[in-house]
Amino acid sequence: MIHTVLIGGPATPDTVKGLTSLLADFPPSVRLVVWLNEFFGPIVNAQGRPFEEMPAYTDNKDRIFALVRLPMVSEEASSDLRDMIAQRLIFDQALAHENTSILRVQKSRLFKFKEAVWPAIERVI
């Protein structure tokens, strides 16, 4: 199993090329988990089609084990995630009632992010 990241916005074409290279370089028995990181914008082609309608996906979906979409987040939520990572915390630690290093409003944003992405992440762990 290989995990690879597609980045939204201007980096989309290059990261899709990277995915197609991985698909070409590894045998069909190798499955991929594709992380769709929309932090810098949506993952769309020049015609505005989403990844799920691009040939990189439609021609290879039998080799793609799962898609994990990381949605665009507000600057505040992005900062909260960076703080959590800098403190080397996992979500459960960051959201714990006794954790006073993260403010209640930050915990709320972290909780919303976790709830949005956790179901997809659970499928691949």
Across the chain, what does the average pLDDT equal? 93
Q: Give the residue, 76 or 123, on which the prediction is more confident.
A: 76
Rounded Cα distance, 42 and 37, in Å: 8
Q: Write out pLDDT tens, residues 17-57.
A: 999 999 999 999 999 999 999 988 899 999 999 999 999 99
Sequence-distant (≥ 6) Cβ neighbours of residue 42 within 8 angstroms: 8, 9, 50, 72
How many structural domains does the chain have?
2
Q: Give the residue, 82 or 123, on which the prediction is more confident.
A: 82
| Residue 125: pLDDT band with limits 50, 70, 90 | confident
pTM of the predicted model as reported, rounded to 2 decimal places: 0.80
Supply the DSSP symbol for 125. -
Amino acid 108 reads S
**pLDDT value at residue 29:** 95
Same domain, 100 and 49: no
**pLDDT value at residue 74:** 86
Same domain, 63 and 80: no
**Which contiguous run of DSSP H or E holds residue 13?**
helix 12-25
Same domain, 42 and 99: no
**pLDDT value at residue 39:** 83
With a cut of 90, say whether residue 121 has pLDDT above it.
no
Report if residue 31 sits inside a domain: yes
Q: Could you tell me which residues are beta bridge partners of residue 102?
A: none
With a cut of 90, say whether residue 122 has pLDDT above it.
no
Supply the DSSP symbol for 63. T
Same domain, 66 and 84: no
Same domain, 42 and 61: yes
